[in-house]
């Protein structure tokens, strides 16, 4: 079994090296002219639907079509994390619920039909791809299981085969890739850790305690010792995570990773080279998901507890705007490649539909809104659709 897994890992590594060479050539090709149209795919976690939306500054935001997802018609399977491959030819979706495991589905863009699927772990959530599109990293968050260290699933996207599950921490979330594709970063919602994993060796390379700012060697061991000692001190003295990080995102130059402390009401900026906390940005309202403008000037966060989108100047850490949603429970945020607009998903409460709002990042005004299925969450923008 180990030999088979190693062979698949070697094949994936060879494909990644070939893809990197091709990307280096394409980087010097002239960029096509951008049409003023933007498209987004949004998952409705309580409806097993994905909505395809289109936004134009002239016409606003509209739902182009709705895609039914899931493998069991009688069950709500919880579509959660979404990500496009670099070409835009395929997109990937995690299904959180299964019997007992969740799945990663691969869809062909356009017809939006499933072309392959693979089983993962307990409640896979956020997913990200290496820049060459060869590997997918999906965090198995295990939201409803025991508070024990869980895993990140590494999937070969061509064969749609799970190469390995790597144990990282308790309730991992917010899987995001470094710009060079060398490392994957995720946060531990119950351990207050940031975890770095090599995308070549598939091993955890570093951990950082986001509360103390100190490197740590191992995941927190939950269980009988939960009431005191080192773990309780690191988690605010109560056995509850003091930060409860929910998301990571990286600067375009790969120097910093930003982590949302949902319970700690702050965003932690980590210097990757020194592996230390560079800055803490206050973010009242329970920050949940993060995004950066592609020009590197601004940081955006959904404030899930207060129902806002907040925007900061990255140079000064000054909060530039705090935009109230028309519904409660803001969730995901994605920024268009020209840094003009932010798409925000809003879950709603009870029987409310989910919604997607478009915010103009020049004026911080809402310029588009559309309803989706219940509990709108995961969002990804179509590459090049700007």
Residue 234, pLDDT score: 37
Residue 22, pLDDT score: 52
Q: Which residue has the tokens 């090709």?
A: 29
Residue 68, pLDDT score: 94
What φ, ψ does residue 85 adopt, rounded to 5°?
-75, 165
Q: In what order do the strands lie in the sheet with 161-167?
A: 124-129, 135-140, 151-156, 161-167
Geometric angle at alpha carbon 306, from 302 and 309, rounded to 5°:
30
Residue 168, pLDDT score: 95
DSSP state for residue 244 in the 8-state scheme:
-
C-alpha distances in Å from residue 148, one per residue of 86, 229, 267, 379: 34, 17, 25, 28
Phi-psi region of 364 (alpha: psi -120 to 50; beta: other; left: phi over 0): left
Pairing mode, if any, of strands 354-360 and 365-372?
antiparallel
Residue 230, pLDDT score: 37
Residue 231, pLDDT score: 34
Residue 21, pLDDT score: 55
What residues in the chain have per-residue pLDDT under 50? 1-3, 26-27, 29, 31-34, 223-238, 386
- Which residues, at least 6 apart from 224, have a Cβ–Cβ distance to it below 8 Å? none
Residue 12, pLDDT score: 67
Which residues, listed in sequence order, are joined to residue 167 by a DSSP beta bridge? Answer: 151
Cα–Cα distance measured from residue 37 to residue 184, given in angstroms and rounded to the nearest whole number: 31
> Are 158 and 177 in contact, with CB atoms under 8 Å apart?
no
pLDDT 10s digits, 60-78: 999 999 999 987 777 788 8
CB < 8 Å & 24+ apart, contacts of 206-209: 206/275, 207/169, 208/270, 208/275, 208/276, 208/277, 209/234
């Amino acid at each position: 079994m180990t030999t088979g897994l190693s062979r698949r890992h070697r094949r994936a590594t060879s494909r990644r090296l070939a893809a990197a060479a091709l990307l280096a050539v394409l980087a010097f090709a002239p960029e096509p002219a951008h049409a003023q149209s933007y498209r987004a795919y949004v998952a409705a976690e309580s409806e097993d639907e994905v909505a395809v939306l289109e936004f134009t500054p002239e016409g606003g935001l509209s739902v182009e079509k709705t895609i039914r997802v899931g493998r069991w018609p009688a069950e709500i399977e919880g579509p959660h994390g979404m990500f496009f491959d670099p070409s835009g030819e395929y997109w990937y979706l995690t299904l959180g619920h299964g019997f007992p495991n969740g799945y990663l589905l691969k869809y062909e863009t356009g017809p939006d039909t499933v072309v392959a699927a693979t089983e993962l772990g307990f409640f896979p959530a956020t997913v990200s791809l290496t820049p060459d599109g060869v590997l997918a990293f999906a965090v198995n968050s295990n939201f409803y299981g025991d508070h024990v260290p869980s895993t990140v699933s590494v999937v070969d996207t061509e064969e749609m085969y799970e190469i390995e599950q790597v144990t990282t921490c308790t309730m991992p979330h917010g899987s995001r890739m470094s710009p060079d594709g060398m490392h994957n970063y995720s946060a531990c919602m119950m351990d207050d850790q940031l975890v770095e994993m090599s995308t070549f060796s598939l091993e955890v390379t570093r951990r950082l305690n986001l509360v103390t700012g100190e490197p740590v060697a191992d995941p927190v061991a939950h269980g009988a010792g939960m009431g005191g000692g080192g773990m309780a001190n690191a988690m605010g003295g109560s056995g509850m995570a003091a930060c409860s990080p929910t998301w990571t995102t990286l600067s375009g130059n790969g120097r910093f990773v930003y982590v949302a402390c949902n319970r700690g009401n702050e965003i932690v900026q980590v210097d990757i080279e020194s592996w230390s906390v560079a800055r803490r940005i206050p973010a009242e309202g329970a920050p949940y998901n993060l995004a950066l403008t592609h020009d590197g000037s601004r940081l955006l966060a959904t404030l899930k507890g207060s129902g806002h989108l907040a925007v900061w100047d990255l140079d000064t850490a000054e909060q530039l705007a705090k935009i109230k949603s028309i519904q409660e429970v803001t969730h995901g945020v994605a920024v268009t490649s020209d840094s003009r607009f932010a798409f925000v998903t809003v879950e709603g409460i009870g029987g409310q539909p989910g919604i997607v709002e478009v915010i103009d990042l020049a004026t911080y005004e809402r310029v588009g809104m559309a309803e989706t299925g219940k509990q709108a969450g995961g969002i990804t923008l179509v590459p090049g659709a700007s």
